[in-house]
Amino acid sequence: ALLDLSGVHQVNGTWMASTTLPCTYTPSEGFTQQTLVWSLERDHSTSAIFRRDDSGDHVLLSRFRGRVSIPKHSPGDATLLIENLEIPDSGHYTCTVSWRSKDNSLVTKEMTTMVKVVKVPVTKPIIRAGELGLTVLAGARISLTCVASGSPPISYRWFRSTPGGSAQLLGSQAELAWDSPQPSDAGQYYCEAENR
């Protein structure tokens, strides 16, 4: 149908990460977008959080300032990006768009998406070897990268395990690199990943 909004009914967002709430339509000749409003219903109260009209973009709820945005120069795209998701961001988000037609009548459509913000524990990390793999010639730069997913921020720690059971902490970046590895660098290494 003409000027129908399309999107999704439910979005699971990861705490402290960002998420997008799709809201799009096909621009139609003879209809000019007048206003675009995103509102949030939570605990039986509804408040507008974002409004775009002739005077520009306005974030109406202070706790969303600097965290919400909508694509600027793509007609028909009213998708809302929310960054640094907080647990209280959970709720029902409604995208409401109004158009003015050539005969000056107003058409308004809306679409609602339920957002659930969840805390995601860190996954067991995997180790990615650099381009040269795990067996390299002495002197050729080698790297290992520790990769995990979950609610950010994720911190990493690299260890080298030595015979006899003690572990030596090597660094706290995701990547462990040797610019000029020597035969003495051969051995067993492991990484830990942690989040809140």
**Above 70 in pLDDT, residue 104?**
yes
Q: How confident is the model at residue 137 (pLDDT cuts 50, 70, 90)?
A: confident
Return d(Cα 100, Cα 28) in angstroms, integer.
11
Instruction: Give 2-18 pLDDT, tens digit per residue.
Output: 789 999 999 999 998 99
pLDDT (average), residues 66-83: 95
Q: Is 50 exposed, middle or buried (0-12, 13-18, 19+ CB in 10 A)?
A: buried
In the chain, the domains with their CATH numbers are 5-118 (2.60.40.10), 126-195 (2.60.40.10)
Instruction: Give 15-52 pLDDT, tens digit per residue.
Output: 989 999 999 999 998 999 999 999 999 989 999 999 99
Return d(Cα 83, Cα 160) in angstroms, integer.
36
